[in-house]
Chain A
């Protein structure tokens, strides 16, 4: 048996090519991201049907979640930052669902650098906006010369490294988990074949335990970390 590990499959590719973008293609990641979006949209509609003044049932559940996110944002970014809570919750939800979509056999949305780099660039723009708004353009540019002016190139590099490290961290964790799971599944199948077992016993329990760590735990923790880093970076840009 041979194990195959591929990038996201390309379902459709346009014949024409646009300037700057090249050929437009629809990949597996995009289709799975649409599925995740549909799930999130369904959840939003489901949880906000006939809201009552006194919450109970599903409304109590979602209010608890919203209050928790609001508290997290306020704790990490300081008071008066409630307007960032929807963005943080969107990041967190789409990251969790995008990673957990692998549990139903689809390819993880976040196991593609394009997805995480897109989110990280979005966060980077927010950081730059907060910097320029609260320090002024001059103050922001002056910050690059901070200890002494010789450090300017290093400061620029470390500024650009923020989105790169954020996206690579999330991508590497999920994609690495996927590669390790696939390799182990292939190795277990080869072991079963080599021992001439009537049933593939080795493939029954072990991949499930591994998937518990790599899919569930890793996916949730990386979503938390990604939104946490977003809050910390934007918050520190606001405060300075």
Chain B
């Protein structure tokens, strides 16, 4: 088998597997949004504060998912391993 094709195919698989990391931020952000909903329901006057804090928290929780996305993009578009075999 052509080793380069093998590496490229495995990289594509790895990029797909890396995106499983999307699970974590999904669960986390859903939980944050649910908690924010119940907080607003309890104290509607604090809506703007809660919304701002929620967006901040969501952005922080999202970063792990975005790291996975960056790794997947590197594996697909800027793969450092493909050129190991000439």
Contact = CB atoms under 8 A, between A and B. Distances in A.
Interface of A: 5, 7, 165, 168-169, 171-173, 175-176, 179, 221-222, 224-225, 228-229, 232
A145 B63 CA distance: 27
Interface residues on B, range: 10 to 19
Interface in B71-85: 73, 77
Interface stretch (B2-10, B30-38, B54-62): B54-62
B55 A176 contact: no
Contact of A176 (B56, B59, B63, B73): B73
Interface SS, B side = helix
A169 B55 contact: no
Contacts of B73: 172, 175-176, 179
10 contacts: A168-B67, A169-B59, A172-B70, A172-B73, A173-B62, A179-B73, A221-B55, A221-B59, A222-B59, A228-B56
Nearest to A168: B70
Interface of B: 55-56, 59, 62-63, 66-67, 69-70, 73, 77
Interface SS, A side = helix
A36 B77 CA distance: 27
Contacts of A175: 73
